[in-house]
Amino acid sequence: MKQVKVTGEFDLSIEQKLKRFDKLSGDRGTWLDHWQEVSEYVLPNREDINQTTEPGRKLSTLLLDNTAVHSNELLASFLHSLLTNPNAQWFEMTTGSEELDARDDVRRWLQDTTLLMHNTLNNSNFQTEVHELYLDLGAIGTGCMLALEDRESIVRFSTKHIKNYCVAEDSKGQISEVYRSFEWNVHQIVEEFGAEVVEKSQKLMDSYKSGSKHQKTFEIVHVVYPRKVGPSVKSFTFDSQYILKCEKMELKKGGFRRSPYMTPRWSKRSGEVYGRSPGMTALPEAKMLNAMVKTTLKGAQKTVDPPLQLPDDGFMMPLDMSPAGINYYRPGTDRIEAILNDARIDFGFQAVSNRQEKVRDSFFVNQLQLNQGPQMTATEVLQRTEEASRLFGPMLGRQQSEFLRPLIERVYEILEKRGDIPEVPESLQGRRVDARYNSLIAKSQRLAEGQAILRTFEAAAPFLQLNPEAADNFNVDEVVKSLARIYGFPQRALHDQVEVDETREARAQAQQAQLEAEQAAAQAENDQKNAQALASASQAV
């Protein structure tokens, strides 16, 4: 049997890439129907997944109750504030070594780099696009965000519609390939890829010459896939290629050290590529709720405006049901009467309210939303945050590995390429730098260490009063540095260890000089007293 050498190469022709795109698009056919149904009840902005809609068309026409839609929006807002709050530094750079992070020069560089990246994100459109991503995660279970370098805002983000992309996993279960399809007119193609691409395509040239460069659109496929594994790999590990599908022509090719696509999933079933979501969990309740509201509204309408019964003869038709309307009838004819029933409309509304609570529970709204009433204390707020951290612990782990870490690495890559990263200390040369998350959830998970330190000192205080020498058990300098690190105290507000040592040495020298001065003064005073005593003794003799 002839042996075949496996090189791990991913070098495919344009035809092979388009075939793989069609294959991956076909594999998600069942998902499209599922996503469409979920979107109709949870995320109306995405209800055009497997159908074409005109711009400006009325959405959510099937909905009679928006509890699921509103709950998904609340969940997205919670995720935004808990994971990527724009008003807090929700991540910090770290070397992974506590000993190295504790060095003053390293810690200052890490904090300066963290501040730069945080400002870069806030000055871009990240906060707008990430909210759309969280909406997709809560409803559809899979999100996709593209991060590209931008001349004006440094980084430009865009959250993609799930109907436009398909993905594939590698052997580790991580999404490594992204195929995205979109349509642009000739004007947009020239603006992005240059005028020379029009000369290479007869269809683009015909559209340009016919004056329809703003009307007719062409399908473009963006392919991002791992570069072949081997010694030839130098700078980039992912290839990026834009393909004009109608002519199977390459428009642009490039590469990245990190994939520009972040594709997080809420949760994932074994053997599946795309994620599952709270919206899928709430879908049966949302559909039932929609049907119950329809029935309850019919019952309420019959109660408020009941059907009528009247004799088959004696009235002039049609009846005038408007206010102050006049109807003529013959004397002796029975009057018009309403057909009333004893239906319990209040029970219908109670049943609807119960289903609404179940929908909210599926999106964790009741667990995350603060109770209405008196203002909560700081301890109560901390406790609620800890409860949220336990609730979202598994989800947070997946978001860290599939979204937050790739996002930070991508932003760092762009800033490093532009030369904006501060000069790296010698001790960090050639060393990997990672991110540690300081979101409210992640911070609450790490505050336990700081609380343990404070509770220890509080418990030890009575014993320190009995025996002050017991304080020698504590390394107070390390305690202060640990608390500053845990609570995110800025390194620039702390003195370097060299400055601390110099200050202490100067203080010790000043104290020694003062002691020597006091001893000299005491000695001089003693000498003066001795001299006066000798003088008095001489005079007495």
Is residue 442 within 8 Å of 396, Cβ to Cβ?
A: yes
CB-CB neighbours of 365 under 10 Å: 20
Pairing verdict, β 165-169 and 175-185: antiparallel
Nearest to 83, CA basis, from 441, 365, 405 = 441
The tokens for 65 are 């109750």
Is residue 351 within 8 Å of 319, Cβ to Cβ?
A: no
CA distance 134 to 389: 17
CA distance 88 to 82: 10
CA distance 362 to 339: 41
Nearest to 333, CA basis, from 354, 350, 312 = 312
Is residue 74 within 8 Å of 363, Cβ to Cβ?
A: yes
Q: What is the rounded radius of gyration, in angstroms, for the C-alpha atoms of the chain?
A: 36
- CA 382 to chain centroid, in Å, comes to 21
DSSP letter string over 368-391?
Answer: HSPPSSSPPPHHHHHHHHHHHHHH
Q: Residue 157: what are its φ and ψ, rounded to 5°? A: -110, 150
Give the pLDDT confidence score for residue 229 in this predicted structure.
Answer: 56
Is residue 221 within 8 Å of 180, Cβ to Cβ?
A: yes
CA distance 205 to 506: 79
From first to last of the 541 residues of the chain, give the pLDDT tens digit: 344 344 444 567 899 999 999 999 999 989 999 999 999 999 998 888 887 777 777 777 778 889 999 999 999 998 898 889 888 888 888 888 878 887 878 888 998 999 999 999 999 999 999 999 999 999 999 999 999 999 888 999 999 999 999 999 988 889 999 999 999 999 899 889 988 888 888 888 888 777 766 678 899 999 999 886 555 545 568 999 999 999 999 999 988 988 999 999 999 988 899 999 999 999 999 999 998 888 888 887 777 777 777 776 666 677 777 776 777 777 766 777 776 666 677 777 888 888 889 999 999 887 776 554 456 665 566 566 666 666 777 777 888 889 999 999 999 999 999 999 998 888 888 788 888 877 665 566 566 677 778 788 788 888 878 888 887 787 777 777 777 767 766 666 677 777 777 787 888 888 888 888 888 888 887 878 777 777 777 766 5
Give the pLDDT confidence score for residue 161 in this predicted structure.
Answer: 94
Give the pLDDT confidence score for residue 1 in this predicted structure.
Answer: 36
Query: What is the sign, positive or negative, of the torsion defined by CA atoms of 52, 55, 57, 59?
Result: positive
Give the pLDDT confidence score for residue 488 in this predicted structure.
Answer: 64
Report which residue type is found at 418. Answer: R
The β-bridge partners of 239 are 225, 255
Cis bond before residue 318 (omega within 30° of 0): yes
The β-bridge partners of 245 are none
Is residue 453 within 8 Å of 483, Cβ to Cβ?
A: yes
Give the pLDDT confidence score for residue 382 in this predicted structure.
Answer: 58
Q: Tell me how many helices (H) and strands (E) the chain has.
A: 18, 12
